[in-house]
Structure 1
Amino acid sequence: MTSTLNAPTAVPATEDVSARLLDSAALLSYDPADEVDWDADLDPKLYGLNPQWSTLYGTDMWNEMTEDQRILLTRHEVCSIMSTGIWFEMILQQMVLRDQYCKDSSASDFQFALTEIADECRHSIMFARACTKMGIKAYVPGRISRELGRGFKAIASAETAYGGILVAEEVLDVMQRDWMRGEDVLPLVRTTSKIHVVEESRHMTFARQQMRERIEGKSAARRKASALVVAIAARMIVSNMVSKDVYVNAGLDADRAVREAKNNAHHHMMMRTSSEHLMAFLHDCGLVTKPAEVIYKRLHML
């Protein structure tokens, strides 16, 4: 008979993933205070983000704009997206802290959760400094969105909390992978995007694993409810990415800009591209129901 006394103890999937992520964080993490050249002058000829990611790219309005107007618009757009990132990172930190409250601090998933929170604190400061460097005041979501965010962070848990986190991270990840390679994009944005992409890749892996663990074996009713909550969170995040005030502050006709952005087929296609991996994962988890689909299609994520 084979003795089981020295057999290794089975490690939960979440624990194994978290241990690997902790090793990765120890090997490759950044301090934006040192990595970003905060003293460098901003080249007036460089965009805030790749023009193709502008909400107006390809519209009649874009074609009528001067190059200086396009550059100014993209700088306001990227600062609006960064400001939305800060807003949701603050929601994220509170949800993760609440989820890990009084759990086993020796567990690697607990330790990685705190590592993620530390990363998000640095990212928020990094985005705030980048907007300040560009001379652009922070964009704050409207009151209804702020209150919805307050409610979401208070009640979301398990797969809904990590689903909301994943939505915000996945959509921004695809955008920033383009920004960090954009030769016509400000080095400030390219560097902050690179830092965010590298560190958020670990956060996304953690969120996916947490969602798989939390949803496994749950009832169809639970999946339907969670699917709707995650879709509503997606609406809250995506609809706040580019504020209407961006167009005002860029010196444009805001009402016309909003209309053209709303009907911009090119930008709709870019949003679907940025959501492909996210939608595939949510499908695999059984979290894309008919009501959720309606919301995602309105957001041009499907």
Structure 2
Amino acid sequence: MTTTAPTSAPTPTDREDIAKRLLRSSAKASFDPVIEVDWDAPLDRDKWAIRPERISLYGTELWERMTEEQRKELSRLEVASIATIGIWFETILMQMLVRHAYDRDPATNHVQYAYTEIADECRHTVMFAKMIGKLGSEAHRLDPVAHNLGRLFKTIAHGPLIFAGALFVEEVLDQIQREAINDEQIEPVVRSVSRIHVVEEARHMRYAREEFQRDWAQRGVVQRAYSRLLLGLVSYYSATRLINPVVYEKVGLDRREAKRAARRNPNWIDTKTWAARKVVATLNQAGAIRGPGKFFWRRAGLLGRPGAPATALGGGAK
């Protein structure tokens, strides 16, 4: 897959009008995961937590040596690891949204929806944390570099970076979860969590996409260049930390060998490209994936492998 030359971005709708519609949608379709998810149901260890072809080691020599039990356990640990990254970035996003709202009029629909999204994200972090425990894992702390860069990013990020960064992480999670919702081979608790997150994140992504396009159009050459570089770094550190290598040890593999195998695995690269394809299209259309920042997108495996078909491992998911 290769990115095409950017074209002019679509014109965003009226800020107050879209926020009003999103507020109405939130009132009609918001969920309390503590109640909506059956946390007391026993875990079905015969099921997967994610489609096997989405697992980082799928198709490798290591995968062939693993037992079916190890593979399914790895699926649970990898979903827990991805959920940990979700918590990490949603915590960053909540802080950025509070800063976004701080200098704006709370009487506007736009700011009221920002507060509504913060409330949604609070519930999502609790939901993900409960799912991690249910899957028999724990929220492994990120490496110090990524952890402290996250702290820096949430402090210095300005308008387009707030919403482009949010859109990236939310779109990647959304693609993986949409695929799981109606898949009978996936563990029911993962499907329930995915269903809630997909419904509520659809509103968040609309809000982020509109605000990114609106803000990006107002930025000058220097600010855009700065944003492209930081956005490339955000995408790199998010995508390359999706799977914490400690999960490999927990299924009896050598951490370094498995990490190296995953990094080189064309199936895993294709999966990341597939999961990021919509946000890559949106940001590339706006001209936000260019220059030095584009190196980090490619390095993270988000722009595809040279010569790989654009539909590699798409699997027919929408």
What is the TM-score when the length of structure 2 is the normalising length? 0.89
Alignment of 1:15-94 (within 5 A): 15-94=16-95
- Work out the CA distance in 1 between the residues paired with 2:49 and 2:170: 19
2:105 maps to 104
1:53/1:270 contact within 8 Å kept: yes
Number of aligned residues:
292
Aligned CA RMSD, in angstroms, stands at 1.3
* Letter of the 2:251 counterpart: A
- Work out the CA distance in 2 between the residues paired with 1:49 and 1:12: 36
- Work out the CA distance in 1 between the residues paired with 2:138 and 2:237: 21
2:228/2:291 contact within 8 Å kept: no
Provide structure 2 residue ranges, at least 5 long, that are not aligned to the other structure: 1-11, 304-318
- Work out the CA distance in 2 between the residues paired with 1:284 and 1:44: 43
Alignment of 1:1-302 (within 5 A): 13-302=14-303
* Letter of the 1:258 counterpart: K
* Letter of the 1:133 counterpart: K
* Letter of the 2:37 counterpart: V
Q: Give every structure 1 segment of 4 or more consecutive aligned residues whose post-TM-superposition deviation is greater than 4 Å.
A: none
* Letter of the 1:150 counterpart: R
In the TM superposition, what is the alpha-carbon distance from 1:134 to its structure 2 partner? 2.0
* Letter of the 1:83 counterpart: T
1:56/1:260 contact within 8 Å kept: yes
Q: Residue by residue, what CA displacement relative to the aligned partner does 1:112-134 show, whole Å, maximum 9, x if unpaired?
A: 10110001000000011111122
* Letter of the 2:192 counterpart: T
Q: 1:12 to 1:47 in 2, by over 3 A?
A: closer
2:309 maps to none
Greater relative contact order, per chain length (Cα 8 Å cut-off, separation 6+): 2
- Work out the CA distance in 2 between the residues paired with 1:223 and 1:210: 15
Secondary structure at the counterpart of residue 242 of structure 1? coil
In the TM superposition, what is the alpha-carbon distance from 1:220 to its structure 2 partner? 2.1
Q: 1:64 to 1:91 in 2, by over 3 A?
A: same
* Letter of the 2:202 counterpart: S
Higher Rg of the two aligned structures: 1
* Letter of the 1:183 counterpart: E
What is the TM-score when the length of structure 1 is the normalising length? 0.94
Q: Residue by residue, what CA displacement relative to the aligned partner does 1:173-228 show, whole Å, maximum 9, x if unpaired?
A: 11111122222111000110111111111111111111111111322222111111
Larger deviation: 250-259 or 186-195? Answer: 250-259
In the TM superposition, what is the alpha-carbon distance from 1:12 to its structure 2 partner? 7.1
- Work out the CA distance in 1 between the residues paired with 2:21 and 2:160: 21
Provide structure 1 residue ranges, at least 5 long, that are not aligned to the other structure: 1-10
